[in-house]
Amino acid sequence: MEVVSLAVIGERLGALSPNEPRIVVSGNFATPWELVNLAAATIPIFRFFVLNPQTGWPRREGIITETPFVGTGVRSDDDLKYLPMRLSLVPRLFATSRPPDVVMVQTSSPRNGKVSLGIETNLLPAAIEEVRRRGGLVIAQINRHMPYTFGDAEIVVDDVDLAIELDAPLPSPSERPLDEAALIIGENVASLSNDGSTLQLGIGQLPDAALDCMHHRRHLGVWSEMVSDGIMKLDRAGAIDVNRVMTSTFLFGSPEMYEWADENPRLVMRRTEVANNPARIAEQPGMLSINTALQVDLYAQSNASFVRGRIYSGFGGQPDFVSGALHSRGGQAVLALRSWHDKSDASNIVPLLTDPVCSFQHSVIVTEQGIAPIFGFSQQSQARSMIDHAAHPRAREELSLAAQKMHLLGSD
């Protein structure tokens, strides 16, 4: 690894031979912004491949962004190339249809001949392996504020070609106070947990609210695509089994949580194709997968990706973890959402989705109205359970009429 100036890296980027090179970049809150902006200013036409690009993502003619998970930085980008697929399968693209020419990462400072990807492992190990096989470039933005995490996050310094040094705190998600509905949903979801359960949490208020209600549990495990402040608080409350390693693929939290993660021997970062592998998920005892959605219909199909026909986020890890949890001994796949959307003044439980399906066949649907079990139910009983136990009272009559027309109100 050679530590150089931005100017030197700019020269190397400007000399890239492909007509339209592809640059794989750390996403979420690990984005190496200095390198990203340098590429945008240096290369006339190229492709970014990134997960969850954040606000401020460069957009101009000549920059094409590819992503399996859309973030705030590209939601209104008409040139966005959204890749609708399970995250567990995305790393295969680097060796097939979307080979990388450059990988840009943000890492920790070197320790014992290695640097760590810190809060974002995800797709990066696969991308680094493939770009090195192809003779491409690995460029690091070394930041002393990046926590050193173990497992697949660790990279030997010889696998990095060029690096710049930076001293800048990592960003964190903005905090939103929990409203009454979120608190009730959190309590409902937490009631489905048991001592010894293994947890997976998606991004959002509702999974965090559920974690806040599990501090009384003991011997919990963690096998999750993401780890947030809620897991740190569970650990400090003594709810996490000290004999079980917490597994994650990216971290999404506060500066306090990043400090907790730094050199934490009980937290291991795994690459996406391991952490999101449904077979590996199914091996976890009592897997409790907790995810959210924008809408769910009476066939229990969820939409977590589209708003008014336009891509909003993506499949993410939800289909991987729903499948894995349902195959776990004692596992459950929980879908948590508010029953009513105040801004549109409409029910989030609808007769039939009009947007693409993200996942389906969960164990239960949870709202602030209650818990609607659906696993093993006939489609008629499934619809009735959702209407009676999860739908908002204002929507129940309309949903019942729709269910009748859809032949979903007969008996078992």
pLDDT tens-digit series, residues 225-237 = 999 999 999 999 9
Query: What are the C-alpha distances in Å from 201 to residues 3, 171, 210, 229?
Result: 37, 20, 9, 11
Q: How confident is the model at residue 255 (pLDDT cuts 50, 70, 90)?
A: very high
3-state secondary structure of 259: helix
Q: What is the pLDDT of residue 177?
A: 87
**Residue 235: both structure tokens together:** 């650990």
Q: What is the pLDDT of residue 25?
A: 98
pLDDT at 309 over 90: no
Q: Is 225 one of the catalytic residues?
A: yes
Q: Do the strands 150-151 and 267-269 form a parallel or antiparallel pair, or are they unpaired? A: parallel
pLDDT (mean) for 10-39: 94
pLDDT (mean) for 278-284: 98
**Residue 184: both structure tokens together:** 């009730």
Q: What domains sit in the chain, N to C, each tagged with a CATH number?
A: 2-166 (3.40.1080.10), 180-405 (3.40.1080.20)
Query: What are the C-alpha distances in Å from 225 to residues 87, 216, 320, 363?
Result: 10, 23, 10, 19
Mean pLDDT (the chain) is: 96
Query: What are the C-alpha distances in Å from 310 to residues 200, 297, 305, 319?
Result: 27, 18, 8, 20
What would the DSSP string read from start to end of 91-152?
GGGGGTTS--SEEEEEEPPPBTTEEE-TTB-TTHHHHHHHHHHTT-EEEEEEETTS---EET
Percent of the chain exceeding pLDDT 70 equals 99
Q: 5: buried, middle or exposed (CB in 10 Å: 19+, 13-18, 0-12)? A: exposed
Q: How confident is the model at residue 412 (pLDDT cuts 50, 70, 90)?
A: low
CB 280 within 8 A of CB 272: no
CB 66 within 8 A of CB 72: no
Residue among 97, 105, 162 at smallest CA distance from 128: 105
Task: Give the integer Cα–Cα distance in Å for 67 and 80.
Answer: 8
Q: Is the pTM of this model over 0.85?
A: yes
pLDDT at 38 over 80: yes
Q: How confident is the model at residue 411 (pLDDT cuts 50, 70, 90)?
A: low
Report pLDDT digits (tens) over 191-210.
999 999 999 998 888 999 99
Letter string b/e over residues 140-160, b meaning 16 or more CB atoms within 10 A of that residue's CB: bbbbebbbbbbbbbbbebebb
Report the first-to-last Cα separation within the chain, whole angstroms: 66
Point out the catalytic residue in the list 120, 130, 154, 225: 225
Q: How confident is the model at residue 291 (pLDDT cuts 50, 70, 90)?
A: very high
Q: What is the pLDDT of residue 176?
A: 82
3-state secondary structure of 182: helix
pLDDT at 223 over 80: yes
For the chain, helix (H) and strand (E) counts, in that order, are 12, 29
Q: How confident is the model at residue 308 (pLDDT cuts 50, 70, 90)?
A: confident
pLDDT at 283 over 70: yes
Amino acid type, 49: F
Residue among 320, 201, 325 at smallest CA distance from 251: 201
CB 195 within 8 A of CB 34: no
Query: What are the C-alpha distances in Å from 399 to residues 181, 351, 382, 386, 404?
Result: 21, 6, 13, 10, 9
